Chains A and B, each alone.
Chain A
Amino acid sequence: MDSNGLMQFAGAVASGAVRVVDLTFTLSPDFPVIVLPPEFGQAAPVRIQQISRYDASGPAWYWNNLTFGEHTGTHFDAPIHWFTGKDLPNNSVDTLPVRDMIASACVIDCSAQAAKDADFLLTIPVVEAWEKSHGRIPERHWVLLRTDWSKKGWRDYANLKDDGAHTPGPDAAVMRWLVEERGVIGFGTETIGTDAGQAGHLEPPYPAHHFLHGGGRYGLQCLCNLDQLPPTGAVIVAAPLKIQNGSGSPLRVLALVPTQG
């Protein structure tokens, strides 16, 4: 692309011809985080401690100290997050190629199925049906699973029962297939993880983590506003914090959407 093209793009963003959709939840202490059995180490919740607010601790300035786990809020999973990706090169957020932080997306709308069944699993036939309407998923694209889960209240969003969380996600076969047959750059969801709430009982357990990160691909979770994206044609900007050897990070996820087809 020449510089004119890039200038044109910037102009389109400025004029609104390219719409910028924020796919990010506000990073706040109230937002549900992944719950592991209590004997495991836990993700530190988001904490915001005020240093000063135009007061005796700092008369002219307002600022906070933050603490949070790498996997809190709307966040990015790097390959090093899972054991399957631990030995890959450039597998952490500080070393992954920056060009991967901008990529197109295919959005598969399963909101109707998820509304009926909290344990809905995305399968290969569902994706194949989507491809019939929208074309084959191109390589190095994000696949984003729209479930409208992000529109729920926090309790229904986490949907914890006495046998664990019940939230939609992908089955094992489709994850392997998306990575190996479609070459996706990553997989994104509206739920607390890229995997389904009951994915610990799938084979292998947590297949999205298993296959994505084993294949050097990425995860995005706790996304919102997926209902504002077209099935194809949106470009995702997802640049995690450059945390040394980081396994992931909260981040701002933006989608660039053309206003005219």
Chain B
Amino acid sequence: MIEPIIKPRRKNPLQRTRLPTSPPRARSRASHGFTRAASEGRFMLQRCGACGTFCYPARDACPTCLSADLVFADAPRRGTLLSETTLHIPADVHFRERAPWRVGLVAMECGPKLVTHLHADCEEGRPVVMSFQLDKSGQAVAFAHPERETPNMADDRQWREMTADPKFRRVLVTNGRSIVGQEAVAALKAAGASIVFVGVAEPWKPFRGEDALRALEGVQIVPLDIGDEKSVADLAADIGGKVDILVNTTEHVRAGGLLDRQGTSVMRDEIDQSYLGFVHLAQAFGPAMRMRGSDGVNSAAAWVNILSVYALANWPMFGAYSASQAACLSLSHSLRAELRPGGVKVVNVFTGPLDIEWFQTVPPPKVAPRAVAAAIVSALKRGLEDVFVGDVAEDIRQRLAANPKAVERELGA
């Protein structure tokens, strides 16, 4: 039975902010199959192509038939908790300051046994459902959940270490002018964020949805023009120390590639708004977030980017836009590595064309802004790192895995 977490009190300014520590980080290359599974919220184990055996931990040869044909495949999640152990005084600094910490041994129905972190409602001898999660070091670990939903399940102390749940956290949504931004604000409030700061650039320009946004409780509109270095720095000076989750909802979509555009001013706008905006935000807010990764119930937890799936493969109809998104994707990997020492996750939400004005002439399926907002909240609650929203994004992902050259030709056809 989990006690619900309570809204954290204001910090005692006489106490030092605890610095983040990392759980053990070393992994074999083969083990990053689990990292991939955890980042996407899948449960994958190595399976032998010759005899069908599931195995764990990651190996180079099948423990049953010695075949080297081991491939990561989605696996059944159910198992039974054989035994549990509570560590009271771990030797590791990270777990020592989180003790007591429960771990257990789970026998999977599909065969292997896993050493795993435990949700508090898991009981010895009872069925459990497994997932792989990214821990504070960004590496995959096994996590056992009770078979059925239990009261206040998401408030479990060990589970919350694996996620970036918005509950009682303070969120900055960078662009309240866009529909995606407005939907994100509503979804994050509904998910229990204690306050959502919403950036509005050029506040002298009215925008659709403004009155509704201003009327929301627990939402504070702040001046933020992410293309302007000083505007971002000024906001960070005000609220940088209390942004636990940053959701970059920048939206600057223009059609066209290279040859039918005159000059570079449209490209420049794209780069200013998307890439340099990202840079400004990261430089202004990143250092404080990295430093506040262990700062209690409302520690800094996650940075969310909304990226076009065409960051992965250029769509020439929106060719320059795709390129600016690719730049942002590359930058996000740098940010991910740089925030990792703080235990702060970088979540990339990939979407196909959104159902917004700038994709007016693009035929469906298009992604509803509300679906993007729901995916953001879901990713934060589940602790995911890479999320694909909608059919187009998922389609591109699968086709890229199969044959990137075919994707290039087909998108450019």
Contact = CB atoms under 8 A, between A and B. Distances in A.
Interface of A: 29, 32, 35, 41-42, 44-45, 47-50, 153-155, 157-158, 160-161
The 7 closest A-B pairs by CB, nearest first: A154-B204, A155-B204, A158-B204, A29-B228, A32-B204, A41-B265, A49-B229
Contacts of A47: 227-229, 272
B268 A44 contact: yes
A161 B204 CA distance: 11
B266 A41 contact: yes
Contacts of B269: 42
B265 A42 contact: yes
Contacts of A160: 204-206
A161 B206 CA distance: 8
23 contacts: A29-B228, A29-B231, A32-B205, A35-B205, A41-B263, A42-B265, A44-B265, A45-B227, A47-B227, A47-B229, A48-B230, A49-B229, A50-B229, A154-B203, A154-B204, A155-B203, A155-B206, A157-B204, A158-B204, A158-B205, A160-B204, A160-B205, A160-B206
Interface in B265-286: 265-266, 268-269, 272
A153 B206 CA distance: 14
Interface in B194-217: 202-206
B265 to A, nearest CB: 5
A25 to B, nearest CB: 13
Nearest to A158: B204
A155 B228 CA distance: 19
B318 to A, nearest CB: 15
B225 interface: yes
Contacts of A32: 202, 204-205
Given A35-B205, A45-B225, A49-B229, 19 more contacts: A29-B225, A29-B230, A29-B231, A41-B263, A44-B265, A44-B268, A47-B227, A47-B272, A48-B229, A48-B230, A50-B229, A154-B203, A154-B204, A155-B204, A155-B206, A157-B204, A158-B204, A160-B204, A161-B206
Contacts of B203: 154-155
A47 to B, nearest CB: 6
Contacts of A35: 205
Contacts of A29: 225, 228, 230-231
A126 B205 CA distance: 32
Among the interface residues B230, B231, B266, which one has the most CB atoms of the partner chain A within 10 A? B230
B214 to A, nearest CB: 13
A29 B233 CA distance: 13
Contacts of B268: 44
Interface SS majority for chain A:
mixed
Contacts, number: 39
Interface residues of B, number: 17
A32 B225 CA distance: 13
Nearest to B266: A41
Contacts of A41: 263, 265-266
Most buried by A among B204, B230, B263: B204
A50 B268 CA distance: 19
A41 B203 CA distance: 21
Contacts of B205: 32, 35, 158, 160
A34 to B, nearest CB: 12
B204 A45 contact: no
A146 B204 CA distance: 22
B175 to A, nearest CB: 15
Contacts of B231: 29
A41 B230 CA distance: 24
A44 B205 CA distance: 16
A153 B229 CA distance: 23
A149 to B, nearest CB: 13
A201 B229 CA distance: 37
Contacts of A157: 204
A42 B202 CA distance: 14
A32 B206 CA distance: 12
A158 B202 CA distance: 11
A161 B230 CA distance: 28
Contacts of A50: 229
A155 B203 CA distance: 7
Contacts of B265: 41-42, 44
A37 to B, nearest CB: 12
A35 B207 CA distance: 13
A50 B284 CA distance: 14
